[in-house]
Amino acid sequence: MTVSGSSARPHNQFDSDSGGPRSPLRWFLLGGLCLASLFAAIVYGIASRTASELKSPEPSPKSPVSSISESKARWQASEFVGSQTCAECHSEIADLYSEHPMARTLASVADATPIEIVTDKLAEFEAQGCQYRVERIGDRMVHTESMTSPSGNLIYEQSVDVQYAVGSGMNARTYLIDRGGILFESPVTWYTEKKRWDLSPGYHDNPRQRFNRRITDGCIQCHSGRPAPIGTGTSDRFESPPFHELGIGCERCHGPGKRHVEMMSGDDPGSSDASSLDMRIVNPTRLDRRGEDSVCYQCHMGGKGRILRKGKSYHDFQPGMATEEIWTVFVAPTPFAEDGSPRFTSHVEQMQASACFRGDSDQMRCTTCHDPHQVPGADEAAAWYRAKCNNCHADRGCSLPIAEREAAPAFDSCIHCHMPKFGSSDIPHTSGSDHRILKNPLGSPVDADQANQHSVWSIFDGSDQRMPEWEVARARALALSDQAMEESDLPLMKQAVAALEAVLVYDPDDVDVLSKLCFFYCDTRNYTQAVAAFEAALRIDPYHEMSLKNYGMVALQTGSFETGRRCFESYLKVNEWDGTMYGPYAAILANSGNLQKAAEVAERGLLLDPTQKKLYALAAQLYRRIGDRDKSQRLREKLEEISRLLDPWDQKRIQRKQQLLRDSLQRTP
């Protein structure tokens, strides 16, 4: 079907169908756009471009499969030897470290220490209209999401095997699904402190992520010992198996051990004397401040976001480097949430705000109080950390009488009083210690204005002073884009577009910048510029997932159905597990006249994600057009049942987003 040059929007064959609700094709398009698009005129002051204004976009993305499977030599020619090799000579410290939570940060579900409560090999809970079940079946763990009608009828049930357990269990444990090197998070998490199952962090605000939340290179870089990325290490794809080493191991802090092993075993004739300081291995205590801090900060300083420097991957960092050589960290104006509680991810920021840190002539480190090889047991913690405090404060001591200090619940614990636990504002059912180390925490409330102040994220630790000016501008533009999207802030979106366009003048081949611009151009229905940006991005990276996905959506919106078909087919070759893209693809096929294939594609999408209300409506219309009215009616009935259960929760989520938009408009100068 061709685009009508005189129509305000592309004609589709379902618009005249009066036998059902508003056209699912159009419904899909509205669902695919951010709510901010409703306010696009405020950002640009222009109306939506019509299809007749566009050239016919004809991308030619190559098949991504062959390119993705070709790993770069740097991921293959490894200098790592694995923690087991280290343990052959360093058995005592290896045994000690094996009990550290970092050593147990990732494990197969078969090998993970059982900390969860699964009574009679079964656990269940309900959340936001759905039921969840966790089952132990031999070495397997199966997570199931289902929905039941008020009368008790099963509407749908989807069971997924999880392969990896993430987290030692000190705070929580979540689970990964390995689909051929593409990793996804389960919506189910075990929360240790509350001893309960619940939705995973971030799912309460968006439970429709279900089993489809993608695990990225940035996630895996911290939550595994040594991943096995493919390509450039930025495609969020991994080998099979996806990890060389599961838990955080020796080489994460000491660097690759191959040369050290060769030196100590006498296999390196060019090595220096083994008695010298050059042991061909990194000892973090011998690094300068920035290098030593970076060993910890590589995982424990994420801030609001990390922006990779041009051409870098999260997997490029090695001990001895500064993290700023690989990425730029951005932080919020304050490390405190709106309720005044410290944010769970901001221990470093809290520490740097403490009097201990500021008064220690820049000598305080994470390792001043934390031993990277061991964690004291619960019965030892008070004495352990009291000794750490007394390294600096022994001459002053505690001002409270000994009887009061030793009484419950403090039991003479410095950290009980000076580093109290707060509920995390970022992760439900968990708490973290206040690393501000306040003299009187109860008498030092957070300034409400400070906690609620709104400004753009800033670069952490002055690293912008040590970067080329163009890279600083690039990092700021990308971070501003992330903040604008996270906060649905329209004024920031306008600033972000201007900043991104300025960076693109300097480097027109920056796929990350092009991808962000594509999003904003689509969101404001500026399709002419969006198409140009998509074309540029796909010429550089023909299998760039976000560009293929969003270009297909623009093609559907503008009636360029052949272009949309090629984009969606290329995208689904890369990621066949994204159930949300089968609906737009089916709409493209239907508008092109291929109703039977469109129905089959819709069925595949519902199999992957049976909560897609728009897709049920589309599938019902397709089957009615094909002539299968019974199946069409069954799909409509299921749509009604699912809508009754999910609509109240979805409406709350929409209202929260709308409130964010209203708040951003009120901040407009």
d(CA 168, CA 171): 8
Task: Label residue 659 by pLDDT band (50, 70, 90).
Answer: confident
Q: What is the DSSP letter of 319?
A: B
Dihedral pair phi/psi, residue 156, rounded to 5°: -160, 160
- Residue type (1 letter), 418: H
pLDDT digits (tens, 9 = 90+) for 556-596: 999 999 999 999 999 999 999 999 999 999 999 999 999 99
Model's pTM, two decimal places? 0.86
Tell me if 447 sits within 8 A of 353, measured CB to CB.
no
User: DSSP per residue over 424-447, as a string?
Assistant: -SSSTT-EEE-TT--SSGGG-PPP
Dihedral pair phi/psi, residue 422, rounded to 5°: -120, 150
Bigger pLDDT: 450 vs 243: 243
Tracing tokens 């019509």 back to the chain, one arrives at 50
pLDDT digits (tens, 9 = 90+) for 447-479: 555 555 568 999 999 999 999 999 999 999 999
Task: Label residue 206 by pLDDT band (50, 70, 90).
Answer: confident
Tell me if 306 sits within 8 A of 284, measured CB to CB.
no
Confidence at residue 46, expressed as pLDDT on a 0 to 100 scale: 26
Q: Is the pLDDT of residue 496 over 90?
A: yes
Query: What is the mean predicted confidence (pLDDT) over 51-80?
Result: 45
Q: Quick one: tokens of 569?
A: 């087919």
Confidence at residue 21, expressed as pLDDT on a 0 to 100 scale: 36
User: DSSP per residue over 336-401, as a string?
Assistant: B-TTSPBPTT-HHHHHHTSHHHHTTTT---GGGT--TT----TTTHHHHHHHHHHHHHTTT--SS-
Q: Is the pLDDT of residue 235 over 60?
A: yes
Bigger pLDDT: 358 vs 105: 105
Confidence at residue 636, expressed as pLDDT on a 0 to 100 scale: 97
Distance, CA of 117 to chain centre: 27
Tracing tokens 């357990």 back to the chain, one arrives at 165
Q: Is the pLDDT of residue 601 over 90?
A: yes
Task: Label residue 24 by pLDDT band (50, 70, 90).
Answer: very low
Confidence at residue 529, expressed as pLDDT on a 0 to 100 scale: 95
Going from the C-alpha of 264 to that of each of 6, 95, 269, 271, 284, the distances in angstroms are: 78, 21, 11, 9, 19
Confidence at residue 414, expressed as pLDDT on a 0 to 100 scale: 92
Task: Label residue 655 by pLDDT band (50, 70, 90).
Answer: confident
Q: Is the pLDDT of residue 75 over 90?
A: no
Q: Is the pLDDT of residue 273 over 60?
A: no
Tell me if 484 sits within 8 A of 492, measured CB to CB.
yes
Tracing tokens 């402190």 back to the chain, one arrives at 193
Q: Quick one: tokens of 368?
A: 């001043």
Which residues share a beta bridge with 319?
321
d(CA 348, CA 159): 39
Listed residue (289, 315, 290) closest to 231, CA to CA: 315
Q: Is the pLDDT of residue 12 over 90?
A: no
Domain map (residue ranges) of the chain: 72-268+277-300, 337-452, 578-669
CA end-to-end distance (rounded Å), the chain = 46
Query: What is the mean predicted confidence (pLDDT) over 422-441?
Result: 74
Confidence at residue 443, expressed as pLDDT on a 0 to 100 scale: 57
H or E element at residue 289: helix 289-300
Q: 578-669, what's its fold?
A: 1.25.40
Query: What is the mean predicted confidence (pLDDT) over 235-264?
Result: 94
pLDDT digits (tens, 9 = 90+) for 610-643: 999 999 999 999 999 999 999 999 999 999 999 9
d(CA 107, CA 157): 27
Confidence at residue 291, expressed as pLDDT on a 0 to 100 scale: 95
d(CA 414, CA 409): 12
Distance, CA of 412 to chain centre: 40
Confidence at residue 462, expressed as pLDDT on a 0 to 100 scale: 93
Tell me if 201 sits within 8 A of 428, measured CB to CB.
yes
Q: Quick one: tokens of 438?
A: 């306040």
Query: What is the mean predicted confidence (pLDDT) over 219-234?
Result: 92
Bigger pLDDT: 174 vs 449: 174
- Residue type (1 letter), 602: A
3-class SS shares of the chain: helix, strand, coil, % to 5: 50, 15, 40
Q: Give the three-class secondary structure for 113.
A: coil
Which residues share a beta bridge with 134?
123, 143
Q: Is the pLDDT of residue 138 over 90?
A: yes
Q: What is the DSSP letter of 116?
A: S
Confidence at residue 207, expressed as pLDDT on a 0 to 100 scale: 80
d(CA 515, CA 649): 31
Percentage of residues of the chain with pLDDT beyond 90: 62
Q: Is the pLDDT of residue 286 over 80?
A: yes
Q: Is the pLDDT of residue 276 over 90?
A: no
Query: What is the mean predicted confidence (pLDDT) over 285-294?
Result: 94
Confidence at residue 11, expressed as pLDDT on a 0 to 100 scale: 37
d(CA 369, CA 361): 16
pLDDT digits (tens, 9 = 90+) for 308-353: 999 999 999 999 999 999 999 999 887 666 666 666 557 888 898 8
pLDDT digits (tens, 9 = 90+) for 501-529: 999 999 999 999 999 999 999 988 899 99
Give the torsion through C-alpha atoms of 557, 560, 562, 566, to 10 deg: -50
Q: Taking all residues of the chain, what is their mean pLDDT, rounded to a whole number?
A: 84
Which residues share a beta bridge with 179?
182
